[in-house]
């Protein structure tokens, strides 16, 4: 089940990296930006209801999100499946995953996500605010790979 | 039309000059501060700053006089019978924690009941939970009726269980609904309960006369009443305040300390341990002075007009489902967009510089009862303008367009 | 001579321009505030004011960022291992109450012991007393040696009783004496105790490196460190903070609330219920920025020079009996006038516009041990000037003259 | 014992009212003012150690004071014996007593003590400060006559 989700996620992310990320960088009106973000989210598989369990829950103050994790034993690469009940947040999580998925612990430690978000004009979404699901998710990713 | 001059009112708040592109509809989270409140704190620090109460010296006496004058101001504001019925806390949350801790063992015995409503903020839920279980006290909840108000029939039934405490919010922070607090308190009193009102949202709607209302404790926060953060008030009738076990021990709240035991000072000192938020209390007094310059009835009428205008506009936007019944709201409209998560709507409004909140607004049990993931809350204040209502409606239309 | 420029330092504090005739020697009660601290609060209210944490909107995100940046600032200041080890409280007193309440049942079991010194402020006595008895926990006290410092031999004997907690003040607020905190903490750790330091007076003398010091909890108040009232810090090592039962329940500190039960959020939120003192935290961060511009060693050397000058002058005035041993003081001199009540001396100094405190300085057990009704406390800060020391000495001479 | 103290107090107060109060009103340097205040205090009897009991104690934050009370059953007049461990406070208490002792409850209810203190340039001593023994004493007197 998790394997299938990871595979679907990988397919979605490849799509996104090839087609949508470049679009996000182009100047567009704000409406298109959000339409695109929601589009992105749709390319990630939805977590089946029975897998939306408390142990996978990452709680922002305003919407719930879920994180599942798998580390490939040989390569040591980390794979995540993320979902959110809010569509825009899910799109942002998809972008986050583009930079995170399939990386080793060492690569992740080096990763400067805010630089990438900056480049996409999405910096504000990575702020300190606890209410913000994205920051919580980033922290959860970091603590997951350390565990 | 209300004769209240909102534009003139708004001029007192420097925030708006500094944030001209924003529509601030988050006053239920915290209100903006008029310049005179900021100035009061500033003047204290620049001129009078000194610690209170302990001082032989005149600077400390002046600071103490200013701090105690703030207490007198709150006393007059609530029409409390005595100045020692006014306890300064760090906010509503701290006040409720003093109550929950302080009533256990003294007033509340194992098997006793506390009654709250399904509309309560976490501040009127979690403190009770922290202590109820270990003290064998039961927390009962008045459910909602179809109007999303406390179900008064069930309330009567729950009162028949003789709760020792009935603790109700005056105005729901999540929906804006104004509870029929007068009659509910009367019923609670008739059932022999000690009554508590959470005035965090309500105090800016209607200031209680605590001698007329059958209310034994009343709590509010300065920062939601045009005052500073870090200051709040716990009002209590003297005989009940005297029964509270102090939550905080330390300097000023004792009359005698030895390593064996300490004896407590008289009220209000007994419940105010440590150096208080002196500048905060002075700022709160300035906020009370500020708001008393205006006619509360006119302000409420004006807010009602904003709500009407907003509600009329909402009905033109397909898919929007208000949870709030505007005619029973103190200034808040909470709504849902059919099939959408409130967070998406709020983010799209934020992009258009409309400051609203999405989520469960620290009232998770309410949304659990409604089986909703939360709502988007629009909180109007007298400094909001009809033009801002229009801008907000346009932004809502644009946002729903994108989400469709 | 210290190369510290006190006159330049003093210029940052508007209080002195507004009170040119006063000599302020009451910094141990509360310090004066530099303009940049006042400005930081002002700017927050005028420009950024919004509630923290809950916000979808950008104003709230900015406020949250500023508030959390204040936490980062405190983390750097104390060199804490993680930002979640920094809990904002309303002051030192609130921090100690969180500790005393929070350690009971979790860390402290019936029969356990807590060890404090005879030099403690009520904030490090009364909160323990509030909970010790009902939990069967014993409070032990390290007595004084002839130098009015903790008797280290007895300390070793008391440590042999294996206290679970050793809670010590870094600097005595009543005498100014600097405890040998490094070695005392080490001994406590060697005996297996959890260590707590009351830094209310000490933090302006020496900022701890909480990763180097064997200290598990450290508390201080903003208002004694050039910051605002109503804000303080409880630092704790993560694994110990996690064991604390929250003293306050409410919004933000829970991750999930139902009417049946609530689960707590992660640190630091778990111990910060309700709307925090946002402006206060931002003011405290500004105070830390302010004080870090200066060389602490130079400041302490300068304060030492003021103390020497004062002590030399005191020896010329018949009848004065310092309790403080100046060479072990962080800036305070407490004294007695033979046969006289300290209040009389303080009133006569007040008449001459010297702001000092008389009394037991919230350290009643200390004065009970000394068998004295209290003392007059002169608390020097880096904004005090040698000329003020002279004026104070003259005023003291005049006062003793009258009392003779 | 109490009767004796009340009698001694009455004698002292008469002295004070006749000789010292007028002096306080005259412009004098601050040193003389305080010398006079301490002088006043000496004219009141000291409470014997064994009568300095907790029930009579009025605690300011900085010095302790004691209050004993007697109401004459026929006239209803109130008599107080006050003492303080601080000399200046004791002088101020003596002045307070000049306006308070031997008055009926009705007279005391009408009394505007701060006006009298104003006239003597002693106003600051009647401030709100809890730390100030005088205010505490005034409150204690008021609650005593109500009881
Ligand atoms: C040593 C010491 N501990 C604790 C406190 C209490 O601090 P606060 O009144 O700010 O809570 C003080 C200040 O009076 C102090 O000097
Ligand atoms: C109804 C209600 N009660 C209590 C609170 C808690 O107030 P504070 O966070 O100021 O302690 C709030 C504010 O969020 C509220 O709206």
Residue B256 has pLDDT above 80, yes or no: no
D105 in B contact zone (CB under 8 Å): no
Average pLDDT over residues C161-178: 98
Average pLDDT over residues C160-186: 98
Are A6 and A70 a contacting pair, CB within 8 Å?
yes
Residue A128 has pLDDT above 60, yes or no: no
**For chains B and C, what is the number of CB pairs under 8 angstroms?**
301
pLDDT in tens, A81-123: 999 999 999 999 999 999 999 999 999 988 888 888 888 888 7
* Burial per residue of C213-223, b for 16 or more beta-carbon CB atoms within 10 angstroms, e otherwise: bbbbbbbbbbb
Range with the poorest average pLDDT among C164-178, C266-280, D97-111: D97-111
> For position C276, what pLDDT does the model report?
97
Instruction: Name the residue of C94, C178, C221 to mutate for ligand 1: max ligand atoms within 8 A of Cβ.
Output: C221
ipTM here: 0.94
The reply to whether A61 belongs to the active site is yes
With a 6 Å cutoff on the Cβ, whether B169 touches ligand 2 is yes
How far apart (Å, rounded) are the C-alpha atoms in residues C188 and B250?
A: 24
More confident residue, C332 or A61: C332
Output the DSSP codes for C51-102.
--SS-SSHHHHHHHHHHHHHHHHHHHHHT-S-GGGEEEESSHHHHHHHHHHH
Structure tokens at C39: 């400005």
Among B254, B362, B385, B397, the one annotated catalytic: B362
Indicate the pTM of the whole model: 0.95
Non-local (6+) Cβ contacts of D135 within 8 A are D126, D127, D128, D129
Residue D130 has pLDDT above 50, yes or no: no
Average pLDDT over residues B342-364: 92
Query: Which residue of chain B has the CA closest to D128?
Result: B65
More confident residue, D118 or C349: C349
> For position B380, what pLDDT does the model report?
98
More confident residue, C253 or C145: C145
Residues of chain B with CATH 3.40.640.10: 38-291
Whole-number Å distance, alpha carbon B65 to ligand 2 midpoint, is 29
How crowded is residue B167: how many other Cβ atoms within 10 Å of its Cβ? 28
Query: Which residue of chain D has the CA closest to C400?
Result: D31
pLDDT in tens, B282-330: 999 999 999 999 999 999 999 999 999 999 999 999 999 999 999 999 9
Output the DSSP codes for A21-68.
HHHHHS---HHHHHHHHHHHHHTSPPPPGGG--GGGEEE-SS-EEEEE
The domains of chain D, with CATH numbers, are 2-146 (3.90.1010.10)
User: What is the DSSP secondary structure assignment for residue C265, as one 8-state letter?
Assistant: P
Query: Which residue of chain C has the CA closest to A89?
Result: C56
More confident residue, A125 or C37: C37
Would you tell me which CATH number, out of the four given (3.40.640.10, 3.40.50.720, 3.90.1150.10, 3.40.30.10), belongs to the domain C6-25+295-397?
3.90.1150.10
Which ligand 1 atom is the nearest neighbour of the CA of C123?
A: 4
Average pLDDT over residues B260-268: 85
Residue A129 has pLDDT above 60, yes or no: no
CB contact (8 A) between residue C54 and residue A62: yes
> For position D61, what pLDDT does the model report?
55
Of the ranges B393-402, D13-22, D79-88, which is most confident? B393-402
Backbone angles phi, psi at C354, to 5 degrees: -110, 115
Average pLDDT over residues C126-130: 96
> For position A61, what pLDDT does the model report?
55
Q: Smallest CA–CA separation between D127 and chain B, in Å?
A: 7
Q: Smallest CA–CA separation between B385 and chain C, in Å?
A: 19
Reduce the secondary structure of chain B to three states and give it as a string: CCCCCHHHHHCCCHHHHHCCCCEECECCCCCCCCHHHHHHHHHHHHHHCCCCCCCCCHHHHHHHHHHHHHHHHHHHHHCCCCHHHEEEECCHHHHHHHHHHHHECCCECCCCEEEEECCCCHHHCHHHHHHHHHHCCEEEEECECCCCCECHHHHHHHHCCCCCEEEEECECCCCCEECCHHHHHHHHHHCCCEEEEECCCHHHCCCCCCCCCCCCEEEEEHHHCCCCCCCEEEEECHHHHCCCCCCCCCCCCEEEECCCCEEECCCCHHHCCCCCCHHHHHHHHHHHHHHHCCCHHHHHHHHHHHHHHHHHHHCCCCCEEECCCHHHECCEEEEEECCCCHHHHHHHHHHCCEECEEECCCCHHHHHHHCCCCEEEEECCCCCCHHHHHHHHHHHHHHHHHHC
Q: Smallest CA–CA separation between C22 and chain A, in Å?
A: 44
How far apart (Å, rounded) are the C-alpha atoms in residues C127 and C139?
A: 11
Residue D18 has pLDDT above 90, yes or no: no
Are B384 and C274 a contacting pair, CB within 8 Å?
no
Range with the poorest average pLDDT among B192-196, B249-253, C63-67: B249-253
Tell me how far the alpha carbon of residue C347 is from its chain's centroid. 26
How far apart (Å, rounded) are the C-alpha atoms in residues B270 and B264?
A: 6
Task: Give me the residue from B340, B348, B358 closest to A62, CB to CB.
Answer: B358
Nearest to A16 by CA among A92, A127, A123: A92
pLDDT in tens, D23-66: 888 767 899 999 999 999 999 999 998 888 888 888 765 778 89
CATH class of C38-291: alpha beta
- Looking at D29-124, which runs of residues are DSSP E strands? 57-59, 64-71, 78-84
Q: Is the peptide bond before C233 cis (omega within 30 degrees of 0)?
A: no
More confident residue, B167 or A112: B167
CB contact (8 A) between residue B65 and residue D127: yes
Which ligand 1 atom is the nearest neighbour of the CA of C361?
A: 14
Whole-number Å distance, alpha carbon C61 to ligand 1 midpoint, is 33
Average pLDDT over residues B365-393: 95
Task: Give me the residue from C53, C58, C69 closest to A61, CB to CB.
Answer: C53
């Amino acid at each position: 089940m998790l394997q299938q989700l990871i595979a679907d996620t990988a397919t979605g992310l490849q799509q996104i990296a090839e087609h949508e990320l470049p679009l996000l960088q182009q100047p567009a009106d704000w409406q298109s930006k959000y339409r695109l973000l929601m589009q992105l989210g749709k390319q990630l598989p939805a977590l089946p209801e029975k897998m939306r369990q408390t142990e996978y829950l990452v709680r922002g103050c305003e919407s719930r999100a879920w994180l599942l994790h798998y580390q490939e034993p040989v390569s040591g690469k980390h794979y995540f499946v993320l979902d959110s009940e809010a569509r825009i947040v899910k799109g942002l999580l998809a972008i986050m995953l583009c930079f995170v998925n399939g990386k080793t612990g060492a690569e992740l430690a080096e990763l400067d996500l805010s630089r990438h978000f900056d480049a996409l004009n999405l910096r504000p979404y990575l702020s300190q605010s606890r209410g913000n699901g994205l920051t919580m998710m980033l922290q959860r990713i970091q603590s997951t790979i350390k565990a | 039309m209300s004769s209240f001059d909102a534009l003139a009112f708004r001029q007192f708040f420097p925030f708006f000059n500094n944030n001209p592109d924003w529509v601030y509809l988050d006053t239920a989270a915290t209100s903006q501060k008029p310049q005179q409140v900021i100035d009061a704190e500033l003047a204290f620090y620049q001129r009078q700053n000194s610690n209170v109460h302990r001082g032989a010296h005149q600077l400390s006496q002046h600071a103490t006089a200013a701090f105690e004058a703030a207490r007198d101001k709150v006393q007059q504001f609530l029409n409390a019978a005595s100045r020692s019925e006014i306890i300064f806390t760090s906010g509503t949350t701290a006040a409720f924690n003093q109550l929950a801790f302080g009533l256990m063992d003294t007033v509340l015995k194992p098997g006793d009941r506390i009654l709250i409503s399904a509309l309560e903020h976490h501040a009127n839920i979690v403190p009770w939970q922290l202590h109820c279980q270990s003290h064998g006290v039961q927390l009962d909840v008045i459910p909602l009726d179809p109007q999303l108000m406390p179900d008064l029939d069930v309330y009567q039934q729950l009162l028949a269980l003789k709760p020792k405490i009935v603790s109700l919010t005056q105005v729901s922070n999540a929906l804006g609904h104004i509870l029929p607090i007068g009659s509910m308190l009367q019923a609670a009193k008739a059932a022999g309960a000690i009554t508590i009102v959470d005035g965090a949202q309500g105090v800016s709607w209607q200031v209680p006369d605590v001698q007329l209302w059958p209310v034994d404790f009343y709590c509010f926060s300065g920062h939601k009443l045009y005052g500073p953060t870090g200051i709040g008030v716990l009002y209590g009738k003297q005989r009940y305040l005297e029964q509270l076990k102090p939550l905080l021990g330390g300097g000023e709240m004792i009359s005698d300390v030895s390593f064996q035991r300490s004896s407590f000072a008289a009220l209000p000192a007994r419940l105010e341990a440590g150096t208080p938020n002196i500048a905060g209390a002075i700022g709160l007094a300035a906020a009370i002075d500020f708001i008393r310059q205006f006619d509360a009835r006119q302000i409420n009428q004006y807010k009602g007009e904003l709500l009407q205008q907003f509600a009329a506009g909402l009905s033109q936007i397909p898919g929007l489902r208000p949870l709030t019944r505007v005619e029973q709201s103190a200034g808040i409209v909470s709504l849902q967009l059919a099939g959408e998560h409130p967070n998406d709507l709020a983010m799209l409004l934020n992009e258009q510089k409309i400051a609203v909140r999405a989520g469960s607004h620290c009232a998770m049990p309410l949304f659990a009862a409604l089986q909703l993931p939360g709502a988007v809350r629009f909180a109007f204040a007298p400094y909001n303008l009809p033009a801002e209502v229009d801008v907000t409606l346009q932004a809502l239309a644009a946002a729903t367009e994108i989400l469709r």
